[in-house]
């Protein structure tokens, strides 16, 4: 006979319990938040934040400087002038983890998260640049703090600044570097291949055909440094990994070399002026119109916009938010907002300095409405309405144009000067 012996463990029913943690969860959370605040405030000269708005990093990254003291944060950055600061409140709280929040309005910080796209001058109506102002704290040491945007999930890195580091001098170096290193196109040379690269804000777009014959697109968003571009995440093309680029100028040749010594080169390419025109957003202003164009713009204002109580907020030739090309605009109605739309165009590039525009007869969003009700058929006539118009292009700088002048080949009185920077209220400019 086989006997089974059961071994029974008896536990005491004593009211005394063995605790796994030495303190309550609430107290532990409070202690963690106090530690994070100490880390933030102990960096007496503040922190450099590498800030990326938008979940797809479509606008690239921006340098912000933050200094924490008690319950207030002082901020400077590329969203303002180099010597400009703004102070507001910040908070540390528990919300599915420890959270750092800039919880009162700060114009230099909320510049990236305001839903009004007119504030940053880029983005989409209703969401702006779609940036974060609340961040999960992933890791914090006296030297660096790693954050994660609650809305975008973007990784945001803050690095402690040493005593004597000048905020103003640093931002001036970044501003100067951005001016020197802003280009419209590149050629990426790698493994005996040349890949065309276009630029949108601070984002590089690589398009190439892989070994299997398929077209591949890669995107690399970057933040400007004093010496080049620091990438949001490593760029891997054809087996070569690059983490960032350093700007190099040798005579008339300009290029960027990988900071990690990889065998690749990002060479600056200056495309023909007509390609620069159709690949960018170029803004109208009334003073830039020739005698022919001013007559048509005057008619639109007097007989279209004024009776509606509206003002032309902006107008440019370029890509609309859906990627289609045309005359893109915003019309401002006080007390209501800005109504956006586009009147779509076809174009043909002729040589390197000419373009032929043909009105496509279609609108996007409010385009058709303003064409029919606000006399925008007159507004766009100088570009092209019923018949194609061919223009010869000139500029102030073939490498980095700040304006492009269009001269109608069939009418010398029809000239249009388009600006590279955003022009608001063009009838007043």
Run of H or E residues at 233:
strand 228-237
- Residue 18: band (very low, low, confident or very high) from pLDDT cuts 50, 70, 90: very low
Q: What is the pLDDT of residue 118?
A: 73
Question: Domain 181-269 classified CATH 1.25.40.10?
Answer: no
- Residue 122: band (very low, low, confident or very high) from pLDDT cuts 50, 70, 90: confident
Domain boundaries, the chain: 25-175, 181-269, 275-428
Give the model confidence (pLDDT) of 37-60 as tens digits.
Answer: 999 999 999 999 999 999 999 999
- Reduced to 3 states (helix: H, G, I; strand: E, B; else coil), residue 94 is strand
Q: Where do we find the tokens 């119109």?
A: 289
pTM of the prediction?
Answer: 0.71
Q: What is the mean pLDDT of the chain?
A: 91
Dist CA 403 CA 387 (whole Å)? 25
- Same fold: 25-175 with 181-269: yes
Task: Of 138, 141, 143, 113, give the one whose Cα is nearest residue 128.
Answer: 113
- Residue 23: band (very low, low, confident or very high) from pLDDT cuts 50, 70, 90: low
Give the model confidence (pLDDT) of 398-414 as tens digits.
Answer: 888 999 999 999 999 99
Q: What is the pLDDT of residue 24?
A: 62
Q: What is the pLDDT of residue 36?
A: 95
Give the model confidence (pLDDT) of 310-347 as tens digits.
Answer: 999 999 999 998 889 999 999 999 998 899 999 999 99
Q: Higher model confidence: residue 129 or residue 167?
A: 167
**62-69, strands of its sheet edge to edge:** 86-89, 72-77, 62-69, 47-51, 155-160, 144-149, 134-140, 98-101, 91-94
- Residue 280: band (very low, low, confident or very high) from pLDDT cuts 50, 70, 90: confident
Q: What is the pLDDT of residue 200?
A: 83
Q: What is the mean pLDDT of residues 265-274?
A: 93
Q: What is the pLDDT of residue 20?
A: 45
Give me the numbers of helices (H) and strands (E) for the chain, helices first please. Answer: 7, 25
Phi–psi pair at 392, nearest 5 degrees: -100, 135
Q: What is the pLDDT of residue 13?
A: 43
Residue 161 DSSP label? P
Q: What is the pLDDT of residue 321?
A: 81
Task: Of 112, 154, 147, give the one whose Cα is nearest residue 130.
Answer: 112
Q: How far is CA 152 from CA 70, 128, 155, in A?
A: 28, 13, 9
% of the chain at pLDDT higher than 90: 78
Give the list of residues 6+ apart from residue 409 with CB closer than 8 angstroms, or none: 354, 389, 390, 391, 392
Dist CA 404 CA 414 (whole Å)? 14
- Residue 157: band (very low, low, confident or very high) from pLDDT cuts 50, 70, 90: very high
Q: What is the mean pLDDT of residues 402-429?
A: 96
Architecture of domain 25-175: Beta Barrel (2.40)
């Amino acid at each position: 006979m086989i006997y089974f012996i059961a071994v029974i463990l008896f536990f005491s029913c004593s009211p005394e319990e063995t605790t796994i943690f030495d303190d309550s969860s609430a107290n532990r959370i409070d202690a963690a938040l106090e530690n994070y605040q100490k880390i933030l405030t102990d960096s007496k000269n503040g922190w450099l934040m590498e800030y990326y708005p938008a979940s797809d990093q479509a606008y690239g990254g921006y340098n912000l400087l933050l200094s924490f003291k008690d319950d207030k944060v002082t901020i400077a950055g590329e969203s303002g002038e180099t010597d400009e600061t703004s102070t507001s409140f910040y908070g540390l709280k528990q919300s599915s983890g420890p959270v750092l929040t800039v919880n009162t309005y700060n114009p230099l910080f909320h510049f990236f998260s305001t839903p009004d796209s007119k504030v940053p001058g880029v983005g989409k109506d209703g969401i702006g640049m779609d940036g974060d102002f609340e961040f999960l704290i992933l890791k914090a040491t006296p030297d660096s703090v790693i954050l994660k945007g609650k809305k975008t999930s973007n990784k945001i890195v803050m690095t402690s600044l040493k005593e004597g580091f000048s905020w103003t001098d640093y931002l001036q170096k970044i501003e100067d570097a951005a001016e020197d290193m802003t280009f419209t196109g590149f050629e990426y040379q790698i493994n005996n291949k040349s890949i065309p690269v276009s630029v949108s804000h601070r984002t590089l777009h690589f398009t190439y055909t892989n070994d299997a014959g398929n077209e591949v697109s890669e995107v690399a968003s970057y933040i400007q440094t004093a010496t080049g571009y620091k990438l949001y995440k490593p760029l891997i093309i054809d087996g070569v990994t690059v983490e960032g680029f350093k700007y190099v100028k040798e005579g008339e040749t300009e290029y960027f070399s990988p900071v990690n010594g990889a065998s690749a080169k990002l060479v600056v390419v200056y495309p023909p002026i007509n390609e620069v025109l159709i690949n960018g957003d170029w803004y109208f202003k009334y003073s830039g119109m020739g005698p022919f164009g001013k007559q048509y713009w005057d008619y639109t204002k007097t007989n279209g916009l004024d009776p509606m109580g509206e003002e032309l907020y902006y107008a440019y030739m370029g890509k609309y938010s859906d990627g289609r090309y045309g005359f893109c605009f915003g019309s401002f109605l006080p007390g209501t907002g800005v109504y956006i739309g586009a009147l779509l165009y076809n174009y043909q590039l002729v040589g390197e300095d000419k373009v032929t525009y043909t009105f496509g007869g279609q609108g996007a969003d409010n385009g058709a409405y303003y064409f029919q009700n606000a006399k925008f058929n007159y507004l766009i006539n100088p570009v092209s309405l019923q018949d194609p118009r061919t223009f010869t292009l000139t500029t102030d700088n073939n490498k980095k144009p700040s304006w492009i002048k269009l001269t109608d080949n069939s009418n010398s009185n029809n000239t249009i000067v388009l600006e590279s920077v955003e022009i608001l209220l063009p009838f007043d400019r």
